[in-house]
Amino acid sequence: MEYGGEYEVSTENPKPVVAFYGLTCCAGCQLEILNLEDDLLDILGKIDLVQFRMGSSAKHPGPYDVCFVEGSVTNDTEITLIKDLREKSKILVALGACATTGGVNALRNGRNIEELKQSVYGDSSHINTLPQILPLKSYVKVDHEIQGCPIAGDEFVEFLISLLTGATPTEKNYAVCVECRINENICLMKEGELCLGPITRAGCNALCPSVSIPCEGCWGPCPQANVESEIDMLSKKGASFDDVVRKFRMFNASKEDFMAQLKRRLNIEWL
Amino acid sequence: MAPKKKTSPLILKKEDIPNFVSKLTQILTVYGPVAKKSQFIFDTITDGTQLRLDYDTTILPPKKYFIPPEEEMVKFSLKPELKIQNPLDEKNTESLWNGKRFLIFGIHSCDLTAIKFHDHILTQVYPDPYRAQRRDEGIIIGVNCLTPCEDGFCKSAGALNTTETADLMLTELNNSYYVDVLTTIGKEIVDYCKTQFSSATQQQVNQVKKIIAHRAKSFPDPLKEFQKLPGQLEDSYEGEMWNRLGRRCFGCGACTMVCPTCFCFDVKDQIELDTTKGSRVRKWDSCQLVDFALVAGGHNFRPTIPSRVRYRIYHKFWIEPEQINQIGCVGCGRCTHTCPADIDMIELLTEIEKGGN
Ligand code: SF4
Ligand code: SF4
Ligand code: SF4
Ligand code: SF4
Ligand code: SF4
């Protein structure tokens, strides 16, 4: 048994049984894995992939050694499902922004859900949905999170390798700016644009600033994110109150700590 | 780093630079400043016309050619048995490096000073065989700055007149460059492209002396007490200024990534997907990042942003001078230029001069 490490996976099968599940989302993270063309055959040689909607219609009832879950919990059925998956899986991994921060699904948080339903669906009595979107870890114990909207294939592969070798998965506990400087991008913040790079976890290899687009924070806040300074700097660039709120909520509306700091700083109650 | 050899100064016409560079690219890998939108970076030069000797500063310093952002230290295989392959081991036939010499064209005095700084600290205090090998492979053509860059304070930092680590040093003179040949390798380079150089006249020698003397006077000198900073820091450790800075700082590490004197790295074993082999790599690290001073058992020696902002300054202005009697800042201004929180090195050091409160 070569995989396991700190998660103590033990099974008679020489390859870990792996399943992928999608909750409410665009399935972009699973697509990102399908896009790993160069590595895909090697990956399949190392794991026993029993359920992967993007590649096959096969279903497997479990139990699983590792279960990757993308998407957000948006209704009661999904609460039941995620609890069931937790029971059946030795390792549960949240995949992508929807599962780790709530992602864009959490934009509804703080709004009146009945009004939202009405404006989107008209007669919405048949729509069963939760008023708040929370990260998966608010519902069940999550062993590891892979960030991003969508995730970066290389971070997924890196995690898989630590799983197979028993190494502790590494976390990039620093901001996008590190990768952005190494890529020698022109700093957009210094050019007067509104970039969340200084408070966002690295891992995307500074994808957006490398093509001159300011970071929107899809990897979630980095540890010790200096929210106050970010608000000050965005304001200095001419951002309005609404700009700041929009920017912070885009991918991180369900990050309680993060939002609490924003509310404190802007002295507001709602959001 | 070959011994110095006195050769009389030469003249290289600006119009001949593209040909000179193109000729160099036939025998060497050539790096030099090129435009990146409104700014500049050091990059591979394939055509002499790409070279922008009129650059002010670059996003990353030429350090990246001596200490790359990421580099393999050893390769290893885990199966069928553990085998380690060290690229520094001469018996190794499959070297990780191509062994080809490279040339960096157009390094400014601040960065030449930083190379000198690394030559000291990375041999005397933390010997770094990887850098040493690259340093031996590298040839340097420096160019004198005649206009100060926006955020620099090289004159205060005592870096303005450094030519020491260059093999050739250029000074702009009307439609030409005046060329000081500083080493035997420099001499070999000009000999290789003989036809492009002519001897400088006495008048040109005098003109350049005048230009350099004028520069020494006209460049800004915002930090008159720069060399006294190590002493002043002794009294500022508990200063309120670190908390004030810490409230603004993101701990993002951008300032150390772009710094020509920073040399910290993290080491990681990367195993390949087939789990039979891998490599030990080092990657640039920064004392501004939260995990930098985290040790086994979970203790973090600098758990807060203010403690880390302070550490960067103490490392450069206190610890390094203690170690090699040289301040670890050459006044290039890159940290100021890049800081997303607009923390300005000159302002910060001025505050220390004023007592740190
Ligand atoms: S562009 Fe954004 S991510 Fe890049 S260095 Fe500037 S602030 Fe950081
Ligand atoms: S730069 Fe920011 S928004 Fe873009 S991919 Fe990276 S974390 Fe996401
Ligand atoms: S500390 Fe700042 S000014 Fe000094 S050498 Fe480093 S980047 Fe340049
Ligand atoms: S400790 Fe910090 S300031 Fe000193 S060399 Fe390392 S990264 Fe640079
Ligand atoms: S670049 Fe600025 S904000 Fe980032 S760590 Fe350095 S001083 Fe702090």
- Res. B93: pLDDT tops 70: no
Question: What integer pLDDT is reported at residue B78 of this predicted model?
Answer: 87
Judgement on whether residues B79 and B177 belong to the same structural domain of the protein:
yes
Mean pLDDT, residues B109-132 taken together: 96
ipTM for the predicted complex comes to: 0.94
**Angle, CA B221 vertex, CA B216 and CA B222 arms, to 5°:** 175
Band (A13; pLDDT cuts 50, 70, 90): low
Question: What integer pLDDT is reported at residue A269 of this predicted model?
Answer: 64
CB contact under 8 A, B271 and A199: no
- Res. A268: pLDDT tops 80: no
- Res. B298: pLDDT tops 60: yes
Least Cα separation, residue B175 to chain A (angstroms): 31
Percent of chain A with pLDDT over 70: 94
The residues, ordered by sequence, that sit 6+ positions from A69 with a Cβ below 8 Å of its Cβ are A20, A21, A22, A23, A82, A85, A92, A93, A94, A95, A99, A136
In this structure, are residues A155 and A95 in contact, taking their beta carbons and an 8 Å threshold?
A: no
Selection from B254, B245, B250, B267 nearest residue B314 by Cα: B245
Cα–Cα distance, B36 to B55 (Å, whole number): 11
Judgement on whether residues B312 and B203 belong to the same structural domain of the protein:
no
- Res. B88: pLDDT tops 90: no
Cα–Cα distance, A241 to A243 (Å, whole number): 6
- Reported as half-sphere exposure (CB side, CA atoms, 13 A), residue A257 has a value of 10
Instruction: Tell whether B305 lies on the interface with A, counting CB pairs under 8 A.
Output: yes
CB contact under 8 A, A181 and B257: yes
pLDDT tens, residue by residue, A45-98? 999 999 888 777 888 888 999 999 999 999 999 999 999 999 999 999 999 999
Band (B126; pLDDT cuts 50, 70, 90): very high
Q: Which of B60, B291, B305 sits opposite A226 (nearest CB)?
A: B305
Judgement on whether residues B297 and B203 belong to the same structural domain of the protein:
no
Mean pLDDT, residues B309-323 taken together: 97
Selection from A132, A138, A128 nearest residue A76 by Cα: A128
For the beta sheet containing A17-22, the strands, ordered from the edge strand earlier in sequence to the opposite edge, are A48-51, A17-22, A64-70, A89-95, A144-146
The residues, ordered by sequence, that sit 6+ positions from B327 with a Cβ below 8 Å of its Cβ are B157, B226, B227, B229, B230, B316, B317, B320, B321
DSSP class of residue B291?
Answer: T
Judgement on whether residues B283 and B323 belong to the same structural domain of the protein:
yes
Spell out which chain A residues touch chain B, with contact meaning CB-CB distance below 8 angstroms: 2, 39, 42-43, 46, 157, 160-161, 164-165, 167, 170, 173-175, 177-178, 180-182, 184-187, 189-190, 195, 197-199, 223-226, 228-230, 232-233, 236
- Res. A5: pLDDT tops 50: no
Q: Is the CB of B259 under 6 A from ligand 3?
A: yes
Count of structural domains within chain B: 2
In degrees and rounded to multiples of 5, residue B173 shows phi and psi of: -140, 100
Judgement on whether residues B175 and B305 belong to the same structural domain of the protein:
no
Cα–Cα distance, A198 to A175 (Å, whole number): 5
Judgement on whether residues B109 and B39 belong to the same structural domain of the protein:
yes
Q: Pick A267 or B42 by higher pLDDT.
A: B42
End residue of a domain, out of B188, B218, B248: B218
CB contact under 8 A, A224 and B341: no
Judgement on whether residues B88 and B213 belong to the same structural domain of the protein:
yes
Judgement on whether residues B141 and B281 belong to the same structural domain of the protein:
no
Judgement on whether residues B185 and B326 belong to the same structural domain of the protein:
no
Band (B341; pLDDT cuts 50, 70, 90): very high
B270 within a domain of the structure (yes/no): yes
- Res. B202: pLDDT tops 80: yes
Q: Which uninterrupted H or E stretch holds B31?
A: strand B29-36
In degrees and rounded to multiples of 5, residue B288 shows phi and psi of: -85, -10
End residue of a domain, out of B218, B251, B275: B218
What six digits make up the tokens of A4?
């396991």
- Please identify, by atom number, the ligand 4 atom nearest to the C-alpha of residue B253: 7
Question: What integer pLDDT is reported at residue A271 of this predicted model?
Answer: 58
Judgement on whether residues B19 and B161 belong to the same structural domain of the protein:
yes
Selection from B133, B63, B67 nearest residue B99 by Cα: B133
In this structure, are residues A27 and A70 in contact, taking their beta carbons and an 8 Å threshold?
A: yes
Structural domain spans, chain A: 17-164, 176-266
For the beta sheet containing B29-36, the strands, ordered from the edge strand earlier in sequence to the opposite edge, are B39-44, B29-36, B102-107, B138-143, B168-173, B176-183, B4-13, B197-199
Cis peptide before B80 (omega within 30 of 0): yes
Q: Which of A39, A184, A225 sits opposite B41 (nearest CB)?
A: A184
Band (A14; pLDDT cuts 50, 70, 90): confident
Q: Is the CB of B264 under 6 A from ligand 4?
A: yes
Structural fold of domain A17-164: Rossmann fold (3.40.50)
B77 within a domain of the structure (yes/no): yes
Q: Pick A264 or A23 by higher pLDDT.
A: A23
B241 three-class SS? helix
Q: Residue B22: give the domain boundaries.
A: 10-218
Q: Pick B28 or A13 by higher pLDDT.
A: B28
- Res. B342: pLDDT tops 90: yes
Judgement on whether residues B156 and B183 belong to the same structural domain of the protein:
yes
Q: What is the DSSP string of chain A?
A: ----GGG----SSSS-EEEEEE-BS--HHHHHHHT-HHHHHHHHHHSEEEE-TTT--------EEEEEEESB--SHHHHHHHHHHHHHEEEEEEESHHHHT-GGGGGGTTS-HHHHHHHHHSS-TT----S----GGGTS--SEEE-BTTB-HHHHHHHHHHHHHTPPPP---SBHHHHHHHTTPPPTTTTT----GGGBB--S-STTGGGT-----TT-BPTT--HHHHHHHHHHTT--HHHHHHHHHHHHTT-HHHHHHHHHHHT----
Judgement on whether residues B71 and B174 belong to the same structural domain of the protein:
yes
- Res. A116: pLDDT tops 60: yes
Q: Is the CB of B257 under 6 A from ligand 3?
A: no
Band (B254; pLDDT cuts 50, 70, 90): very high
B275 within a domain of the structure (yes/no): yes
B344 within a domain of the structure (yes/no): yes
Band (A270; pLDDT cuts 50, 70, 90): low
B2 CA from centroid of ligand 2 (Å): 46
Least Cα separation, residue B284 to chain A (angstroms): 9
